[in-house]
Amino acid sequence: MRKINLAIFFGGHSSEYEVSLASAYAVVSNLDKERYVPVLVGISADGQWHYFHGDLDKVRDNAWLNEKDCVPAALCPNYGSRKLLLLKQEGVTELPIDAAFPVLHGKFGEDGTLQGMIEMAGIPLVGCDVLSSALCMDKDRAHKLAAVAGVLAPRALVLEREDGRYLERMTAFVEEIGLPVFVKPLKAGSSFGVSKVSGLDDLEAAAKLAFTYDSQMIVEETIEGFEVGCAVLGTGALTVGEVDEIELSGGFFDYTEKYTLKTSKIHVPARISQEKAKEIKDAAKAVYKALGCSGFARVDLFLTPDGEIVFNEVNTIPGFTEHSRYPGMMEAAGIPFGELLTRIIEQAVGQ
């Protein structure tokens, strides 16, 4: 069997640059090298593309970007060409690409922009397509489509940075729904720019923080209960991993907690009944389909004290380290990391 040249994109012009390095390192480390040849395409924090051919540990350690190990690169946009162009000083050379796996998080990697470039070049894409990636990144539109699919969503208000009355509108909405509320950039991940606000006097600072990451923000009501997640795999027939549960000792699941678990715990399987777990999985599948997801994604929901399931968000490229939630949920369902990667990639390459 001929090996597949798999372009793995990592890094990115995004606040989640370093998270991507950790995910890419784990993906390449667990990839079936009998099937796939990893072609590493690193995107620097300022958005410059490079073909990286050095030691993988340098990706993990954020030491990959150097003249010895990198060649400036670009994806050939001609449909069906399936080539990475290496822009060497002595001229341009070509490296064939059979499929592309974006292992990036957040803006310019998870929001459909890179997916569009890959699809325009006619390269088989691992994961969600342009439309679903963009919809899932937009919290407001994702909430609305989840509601159409029959899954409850938090009450929320979207505000524009250019709206001179945004603070006035924000305050009126919060007075209507009550405190505390969450203030978030409309399109960002890994909890960057997110604040839990318990007092009206703190709204302006939370808004300014959110607006540093996006020109729009969303104010959401707080849902009582705890967060649960579902790892979903597939396009037609769907496989769902074991439901996980986030146990917080206080505050919320912010960036620090997501990547250090200093004061929180993740339980997989979640400490809920099998019946409730099935309800959560069905809700996750309904959201996944409503948003047009394909390949894989992690659907996050809330479970209230009354047993209601409320939509939170979808991550179309969730964390992919050995300790990340998505691989953990699939591992608990009997699908180890290496096999999981093979199944994800095979959906794109059709083997």
Give the pLDDT mean for 85-100. Answer: 97
Is the pLDDT score of 155 beyond 60?
A: yes
* pLDDT band at residue 236 under the 50/70/90 scheme: confident
- Rounded alpha-carbon distances, angstroms, from residue 280 to 119, 231, 283, 299: 32, 11, 5, 10
The model's pTM is: 0.93
Q: pLDDT class for 266, splitting at 50, 70, 90?
A: very high
Instruction: Give per-residue pLDDT as tens, 171-221.
Output: 999 999 999 999 999 998 657 899 999 999 999 999 999 999 999 999 999
Q: Are 328 and 244 in contact (CB under 8 A)?
A: yes
Non-local (6+) Cβ contacts of 151 within 8 A are 283, 286, 287, 301, 309, 310, 311
**Which domains are delineated in the chain?**
4-126 (3.40.50.20), 135-152+224-349 (3.30.470.20), 156-221 (3.30.1490.20)
- Average pLDDT (156-181) is 97
- CA dist list (Å): 111 to 121, 132, 258: 18, 9, 20
Q: Is residue 342 a contact partner of residue 32, using CB atoms and an 8 Å limit?
A: yes
The per-residue pLDDT for 216 is 97
Residue 254 has pLDDT above 70, yes or no: no
- Over residues 77-95, mean pLDDT: 96
Task: Using pLDDT thresholds of 50, 70 and 90, give the confidence band for residue 257.
Answer: very low
**In which band, very low, low, confident or very high, does the pLDDT at 252 lie, cut at 50, 70 and 90?**
low
